[in-house]
Chain A
Amino acid sequence: MSTPPVSSILVFGWGNLSRGDDALGPLCMDHLRAAFADDSRVEFLDDYQLQVEHALDLVGRERVLFVDASLNCSAPFEVTPLRAAQDASFTTHAMSPQSLMQVFCDLQGGEPPPCTLLAIRGARFGLGEPPSAQALQHLDAALLWAKTWLEQTAEQADAPTCMN
């Protein structure tokens, strides 16, 4: 499949807007997409969950930032460098970013770009619920960090390149 020019930096958030604090990932994408609307060095993608085919969205990137809501991370958010790893997450709705990176290795025969996970602390994931007030505070704090990270990373990044 041909590969059009891709932005050097990918920010990929996932979650469900209709499931309480699970909306933190896509909400974060909305804010960042608006803030960096004119920056061709950054691409923003979001989906309900990570799937195998998203491994190919990592191709050609210099840096990747994953964004997800988490029940387990410290409040307000945690930032973790990721390494490819095979786990059992592909059997569920929610494939882990580490497993996705492993699929990249298997398919591409090489290491994926450096990937970082921004996990934003959430608490309630009920169907039909809005995000909780506390989770939205965590989102504000995470956005401050993410904008700084993107500005610094984008300064070091190249313009969009063709991957053929």
Chain B
Amino acid sequence: MNTSLETASPEAVAQGLRRVAIDPVSRVEGHGKVTILLDAQNKVQQVRLHIVEFRGFEKFIEGRPYWEVPVMVQRLCGICPVSHHLAASKAFDRVLGVVQATPSADKIRRLMHYGQVMQSNALHFFHLSSPDLLFGFDSEVNRRNIVGVAQAHPDIAKKGILLRKFGQEVIRATAGKRVHGTGSVPGGVNKHVSLEDRAMLLRDVDQMMAWAQDAVDIAKQLHGQNPALYNSFGSFRSNMLSLVRADGALDLYDGVIRARDADGKILFDGASDQGYLDLIEEEVKPWTYMKFPFLKSLGRDLGWYRVGPLARLQNCDFIPSPLAEAQRREFIAWGQGEPIHATLAYHWARMIEVLHCMEVIKDLLDDPDILSGDLMATGKRQRSGVGVIEAPRGTLIHHYEVGDDDLVTMCNLIVSTTHNNQAMNEAVRSVAREYLDGRELTEGLLNHIEVAIRAYDPCLSCATHALGQMPLDVTLVGPEGEVIDRVVKSQGELVHDLSGPTGLGV
């Protein structure tokens, strides 16, 4: 555990450290910031990942007609708009009194969602992370990107690009557009899948399945080739949380909330998503705009948790598709009876999800309900609703209240990256302690930090389409509070810049 590094100890401060706080002025989403405090021996005393993304979206939503919202909220993200589209639709299903969508609507939404998770996971692994994993964290920076992968490993790059493209086509066939579609509405969906689109997708589905299997193999081989690195890099114990189906199966679209502790023991299970406020509380810290959710039952110090592929694969009892379930068993076996807490294992888990998504997509494409049947359900109007979904990066919660005039009066969103806030800080601290500790900041060090953050696939990088080059600002502060070094990396350039404002205040 590295939580102690969140704030330098009073003893350390008394010996000359300066306590720092962030002033989050004029930061834009997509930017992360890491600050590090050192003592006189250049030992790390404090490390913080600051995400200064100001989310005013809840306020934008208030006062809007509820039926606009599933389309509006897609503007939260350019990579996973479908997740917001569907989470909002599910929440407003409840407002309309619809507990269960029609079979056709449920399957078309699932097809849309599994296409989305597949393409997003493929984008993350192949476009954003594979350069680090294939070339090495310290490899030449000009090569460490998807174009470099295309040059060195064109076969791998092409599979990644085409997997993503296939997922986008699934989204287009169900939502109407590859980005910011309109297919899902409160109460159901507004169109069936066309015969032409289904035929087009079916032509490629077996090829995509084979490539998804290849992707799992690549991730697995990376672990096998360097187990010491992959098991230890940014590793720490944590609770894990996700939706699971009522029978314990992995389900990315709907289910009940389950949490396990760091030993894998179930903390709670079968909890209704409508009661998430009974389970989760959010803490605000003054140095970042992003909140820190925690499990109420454990409290803020012990109750933080991880979400996303690593949590999902270990939280569920099984994956309800044969190829992915076989891979999950192999993944679990890697832990030798213990939960896997390695940060880099996110990549392996993510690729198993890609394979599962392809299996689900194939089954749904063969289901006649996506071509015909009732699209809309009705019920007794309610004043509020909660929609929870497993987005590519983890559990996504949308909560709305709606007045009698059909205008939204309250909106609360807890996005996946927020759930992982504490975990990402832990990962950064672990890496800083192991790899920095007194050394001069280098591009290689920066990238080690980025690799740890990137494993979580946080929205701060994906929403800006930062292809492997997450803008990062690292400030090294000495024992007297002086800024020793500041390195800013943006658009591939690594610049030592002591002249600009650091955003640090006493």
On A, residues with C-beta under 8 Å from B are 1-2, 4, 48-49, 51-53, 55-56, 86, 88, 90-93, 99, 102-103, 106-107, 109
Instruction: Please tell me if the beta carbons of B162 and A56 are within 8 angstroms of each other in the complex.
Output: yes
Instruction: Please tell me if the beta carbons of B127 and A88 are within 8 angstroms of each other in the complex.
Output: no
| Majority-rule SS of A interface residues | helix
Tell me, yes or no, whether B371 is within 8 Å of chain A by CB: no
Q: A109 CA to B158 CA in the complex, in Å?
A: 11
Q: Which of B146, B147, B204 has the most CB of A within 10 A?
A: B147
Q: Which residue of A lies closest to B30 (CB)?
A: A93
Q: A1 CA to B146 CA in the complex, in Å?
A: 20
The interface residues of chain B lying within 8 Å CB-to-CB of A51 are 465
Tell me, yes or no, whether B467 is within 8 Å of chain A by CB: yes
Q: A126 CA to B197 CA in the complex, in Å?
A: 38
Q: Which residue of A lies closest to B159 (CB)?
A: A1
Q: A52 CA to B466 CA in the complex, in Å?
A: 12
Q: A124 CA to B154 CA in the complex, in Å?
A: 39
Instruction: Please tell me if the beta carbons of A91 and B492 are within 8 angstroms of each other in the complex.
Output: yes
Tell me, yes or no, whether B165 is within 8 Å of chain A by CB: yes
Q: A102 CA to B150 CA in the complex, in Å?
A: 10
Instruction: Please tell me if the beta carbons of A2 and B204 are within 8 angstroms of each other in the complex.
Output: yes
The residue from A2, A48, A88 contacting B203, defined by CB atoms under 8 A apart: A2
The residue from A48, A93, A99, A107 contacting B161, defined by CB atoms under 8 A apart: A107
Q: A91 CA to B492 CA in the complex, in Å?
A: 6
The interface residues of chain B lying within 8 Å CB-to-CB of A92 are 491
Contact with A along B143-160 (1 / 0, CB 8 A): 001110011001001100
Instruction: Please tell me if the beta carbons of B154 and A109 are within 8 angstroms of each other in the complex.
Output: yes
Instruction: Please tell me if the beta carbons of B147 and A90 are within 8 angstroms of each other in the complex.
Output: yes
Instruction: Please tell me if the beta carbons of A93 and B465 are within 8 angstroms of each other in the complex.
Output: yes
Instruction: Please tell me if the beta carbons of A91 and B157 are within 8 angstroms of each other in the complex.
Output: no
Please tell me the number of chain B residues within 8 Å of chain A, measured between CB atoms. Answer: 29
Tell me, yes or no, whether B468 is within 8 Å of chain A by CB: yes
Instruction: Please tell me if the beta carbons of B166 and A103 are within 8 angstroms of each other in the complex.
Output: no
Tell me, yes or no, whether B469 is within 8 Å of chain A by CB: yes
Counting from the closest, the 5 A-B pairs by CB-CB distance are A91-B492, A106-B150, A91-B469, A2-B203, A1-B162
Tell me, yes or no, whether B164 is within 8 Å of chain A by CB: yes
> Can you report 28 residue pairs joining A to B where beta carbons are below 8 Å apart?
A1-B165, A1-B204, A2-B200, A2-B203, A2-B207, A4-B200, A51-B465, A52-B127, A52-B150, A52-B157, A52-B467, A53-B161, A56-B161, A56-B162, A88-B491, A88-B492, A90-B146, A90-B147, A91-B145, A91-B466, A91-B468, A91-B469, A91-B491, A93-B464, A93-B465, A99-B147, A106-B157, A107-B154
On B, residues with C-beta under 8 Å from A are 78, 127, 142, 145-147, 150-151, 154, 157-158, 161-162, 164-166, 200, 203-204, 207-208, 464-469, 491-492
The interface residues of chain B lying within 8 Å CB-to-CB of A109 are 154
Query: Given A56-B162, A56-B165, are A107 and B150 also a contact pair (CB < 8 Å)?
Result: yes
Q: Which of B78, B161, B162, B464 has the most CB of A within 10 A?
A: B161
Q: A1-B165, A53-B164 are in contact. List 7 more A-B contacts (CB 8 A).
A: A1-B204, A1-B207, A51-B465, A52-B146, A86-B147, A99-B147, A106-B154
The interface residues of chain B lying within 8 Å CB-to-CB of A1 are 162, 165-166, 204, 207-208
Q: A52 CA to B164 CA in the complex, in Å?
A: 11
Q: A4 CA to B199 CA in the complex, in Å?
A: 12
CB distance from B270 to the nearest CB of A (A): 41
The interface residues of chain A lying within 8 Å CB-to-CB of B203 are 2
Q: A113 CA to B165 CA in the complex, in Å?
A: 21
The interface residues of chain B lying within 8 Å CB-to-CB of A52 are 127, 146-147, 150, 157, 161, 467
Query: Given A52-B146, A52-B161, A53-B165, are A106 and B465 also a contact pair (CB < 8 Å)?
Result: no
CB distance from A137 to the nearest CB of B (A): 31
Q: A92 CA to B490 CA in the complex, in Å?
A: 9
Q: A4 CA to B162 CA in the complex, in Å?
A: 14
The residue from B147, B162, B207, B467 contacting A106, defined by CB atoms under 8 A apart: B147
Q: A109 CA to B466 CA in the complex, in Å?
A: 26
Query: Given A52-B467, A90-B467, A91-B491, are A103 and B204 also a contact pair (CB < 8 Å)?
Result: no
Q: Which residue of A lies closest to B78 (CB)?
A: A48
The interface residues of chain A lying within 8 Å CB-to-CB of B465 are 49, 51, 93
Q: A108 CA to B207 CA in the complex, in Å?
A: 18
Q: Which of A51, A52, A56, A90 has the most CB of B within 10 A?
A: A52
